[in-house]
Amino acid sequence: MKAFVLDRYGKKRALRLADIPSPELRDDEVLVQVHAAGVNQLDSRIRDGDFKLILPYRLPLILGHDVAGVVVKVGPRARQFKPGDEVYARSDDFRIGTFAEYVAVKEDSLAIKPKALTMEEAASIPLVGLTAWQALIEKANLTKGQKVFIQAGSGGVGTFAIQLAKHVGATVATTTSGANIDLVKSLGADIVIDYKKDDFEKVLQNYDVVLHSQDAAALEKSLRVLKAGGTLISISGPPDPAFAKRIGAPWFVNLVVRLLSSGVRKRASRRGLRYSFLFMRASGDQLREITSLMDAGAIRPVVDRVFPFESTNEAMAYVEKGRTKGKVVIKVR
C-alpha cells in the first residue's frame, strides 16, 4: 500500500511517500480501507518530536489519527463489524497511521459512519469530537444553564465543542478573529470575543467551565474568569499527574509531569478551582453517541479544505499555520 512515512523526528520534516506492506491485523482489530483522513495539530507535534517522552513511537512511523473508510477484513475476535461497513474512528495511540491506503483499528475504537456525512466530513470528526465530548461531558459534566468558555472557537475542537455545549443547553463564550465571528455565531456561540481587539479576561467572569487550548498566558487568565468550584480543562498542557497515571508513565515521566503542572494546580487550588489536563483517547462507544447527534442534525461538520492524498505534506503545513476554519481532510480514495 501507499503511505506517508516519518523516518526521523524533526521540525517541519517532510513525510516520505512509500510503498509498504498493509498492516498486520491483530485478533481484536478491523482492517479499514482509508477513504479520507483528518489532519490534526497532533500529527505535526508528533512529527516534531514534542511527545517523544509520553508517546515513544518506533520509527519509521505512519502518521494520521482520524479515518473514515470501508471495512475490508476483521480479526477473529472482532464481532461488531463486517466487510463493506462504512466506518470512522480515531485510531489508538501506538496504532496510528491513517495517512495510508489501509489502517488497522481496534474494534472498540470504531463506529459506523454517520449516514448523512460524506467520507471527508466523517473523517473530520473523530479526534475533535471525542476531545470535546471527553472535556465537556465526561470531565466537566457540563449541564444546562452553565456557562462555558471555549477558546479558539473557529478551530477544529472549537467548532465541535461550541455545538456540543449548545446542545447541552449551556451559555457559550468563545474567542476568534473578526473574520470568523459569523461562523462561530452560526454554530451557536452566545458571546464572541475578537482576540485581536479585546482581552477575554476583561469581558468574562463567573464561568463554570473553561476549555483551554492556547498558551500559558491564556491559561492564567482563564483561571481568573472561573467562579469558585469551576473547572479548567486544558488540551494544550501542562499535563497533570492523573494523565501520567492513566498512560502508565514511568517514574521519571511522572516526576516531570508533576513538576510541569505544579504551579497551575496550586494556583487553581487556592482559588477553589479544579485543573485537569486532557489527552483524548479513542472510543467507539462515545463515537456512537456523537453519531446519533450528527444523524439528528444537532451537530454539523465544519471542513475548511480537502487535499488530495499526494498533498499530505501540504495539508499538514496548512494546519500548522493555525488559521483553519474547522478541519482539514485528506482524500485518500
pLDDT tens digits for range 91-119: 999 999 999 999 999 999 999 999 999 99
Angle between helices 216-225 and 251-270 (to 10 degrees): 40
Residue 10 makes CB contacts below 8 A (sequence gap 6+) with 47, 48, 49
Judge whether residue 133 has pLDDT over 90. Answer: yes
pLDDT at position 303, please?
98
Mean pLDDT of all residues in 268-285: 97
Distance of CA 36 to the CA centre of its chain: 16
Q: Which CATH architecture has domain 128-277?
A: 3-Layer(aba) Sandwich (3.40)
Judge whether residue 53 has pLDDT over 90. Answer: no
Residue 167 Cα distances to 101, 143, 172, 206, 218, angstroms: 35, 10, 11, 21, 26
Distance of CA 332 to the CA centre of its chain: 20
Helix and strand totals (H; E) in the chain:
11, 16
Mean pLDDT of all residues in 229-254: 93
Residues 277-290: tens digit of each pLDDT: 999 999 999 999 99
Mean pLDDT of all residues in 241-267: 92
pLDDT confidence bin for 54, thresholds 50/70/90: confident
Degrees to nearest 5, angle at CA 230 with 225 and 235: 80
Point out which residues pair with 61 in neighbouring strands.
6
Q: Does domain 2-125+301-331 have CATH number 3.90.550.10?
A: no
| Helix/strand/coil for 28 | coil
Residue 31 makes CB contacts below 8 A (sequence gap 6+) with 22, 23, 25, 71, 72, 73, 74, 102, 103, 104
pLDDT at position 247, please?
86
Burial class of 181 by CB neighbour count within 10 A (0 to 12, 13 to 18, 19+):
middle
| pTM of the predicted protein model | 0.97
Domain ranges of the chain: 2-125+301-331, 128-277
Judge whether residue 261 has pLDDT over 90. Answer: yes
C-beta of residue 104 within 8 angstroms of C-beta of residue 29: yes
Report the half-sphere exposure of 254 (CA within 13 A, side-chain side). Answer: 8
Q: Which of 195, 141, 197 lies closest to 173 in space, CA to CA?
A: 195
Q: Which of 209, 277, 201, 269 lies closest to 245 in space, CA to CA?
A: 277
Residues 20-39: tens digit of each pLDDT: 999 999 999 999 999 999 99
pLDDT confidence bin for 266, thresholds 50/70/90: very high
Average pLDDT, the chain: 97
Q: Which of 42, 86, 91 lies closest to 66 in space, CA to CA?
A: 91
pLDDT confidence bin for 220, thresholds 50/70/90: very high
Point out which residues pair with 308 in neighbouring strands.
331
Judge whether residue 5 has pLDDT over 90. Answer: yes
Residues 294-328: tens digit of each pLDDT: 999 999 999 999 999 999 999 999 999 989 999 99
